């Protein structure tokens, strides 16, 4: 049951938010091919696809039906909500590093540190 529900939700998501919704128009493609086939019996499926999915859109009497075919138009696609606006130009200003005057610092010679001083760290806390 869980598998069926997962497949159902995945299918609903893919159909609603991707171009898989165009596959729901497949019966219109078959019906439109049958109409063209009635007019011209020598029309093959490849010639039908070349006629309707060529680079140029031919505006004829059945142009409105042609636009209802799968992958001909993107009407009602909700993917615009996912688009991200990219600025035309992008400029980053990096400030130049500021050089300060050399400051001499005194570093004491700490080569020898008494062991008594180091062991005082590990004492238990004392109450005040």
DSSP category for residue 56 = S
The pLDDT score that the predictor gives to residue 6 is 92
Global pTM exceeds 0.85: no
Model confidence at 126: pLDDT above 80:
no
The pLDDT score that the predictor gives to residue 4 is 93
The pLDDT score that the predictor gives to residue 81 is 52
Alpha carbon distance 11, 18 (integer Å): 10
Alpha carbon distance 70, 55 (integer Å): 15
Q: What is the pLDDT of residues 68-113, one digit of tens each?
A: 888 887 655 554 455 566 667 777 788 887 777 777 777 676 666 6
Model confidence at 9: pLDDT above 70:
yes
Q: What is the pLDDT of residues 33-63, one digit of tens each?
A: 999 899 988 988 888 888 888 867 778 888 8
- Asked if residue 79 lies in contact with residue 21, where contact means CB atoms within 8 angstroms, the answer is no
- Cβ neighbours of 47 (radius 10 Å): 12
pLDDT tier at 5, thresholds 50, 70, 90: very high
Unique residue bearing structure tokens 């010679």: 109
Rg (CA), the chain: 37
Q: For residue 73, give the nearest of 53, 51, 96 by alpha carbon.
A: 53
Residue 55, exposed/middle/buried by CB under 10 A (0-12, 13-18, 19+)? exposed
Unique residue bearing structure tokens 């609903």: 12
What angle do helix axes 45-52 and 26-39 make, rounded to 10 degrees?
110
């Amino acid at each position: 049951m869980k598998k069926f529900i997962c497949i159902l939700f995945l299918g609903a998501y893919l159909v609603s938010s991707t171009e898989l919704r165009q596959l729901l128009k497949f019966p219109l493609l078959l019906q439109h091919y049958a109409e063209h086939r009635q007019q011209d019996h020598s029309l093959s499926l490849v010639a039908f696809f070349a006629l309707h999915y060529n680079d140029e859109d031919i505006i004829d009497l059945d142009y409105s039906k042609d636009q209802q075919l799968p992958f001909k138009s993107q009407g009602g696609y909700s993917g615009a909500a996912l688009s991200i606006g990219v600025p035309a130009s992008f400029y980053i200003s990096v400030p130049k590093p500021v050089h300060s005057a050399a400051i001499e610092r005194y570093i004491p010679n700490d080569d020898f540190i008494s062991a008594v001083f180091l062991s005082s760290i590990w004492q238990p806390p004392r109450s005040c």
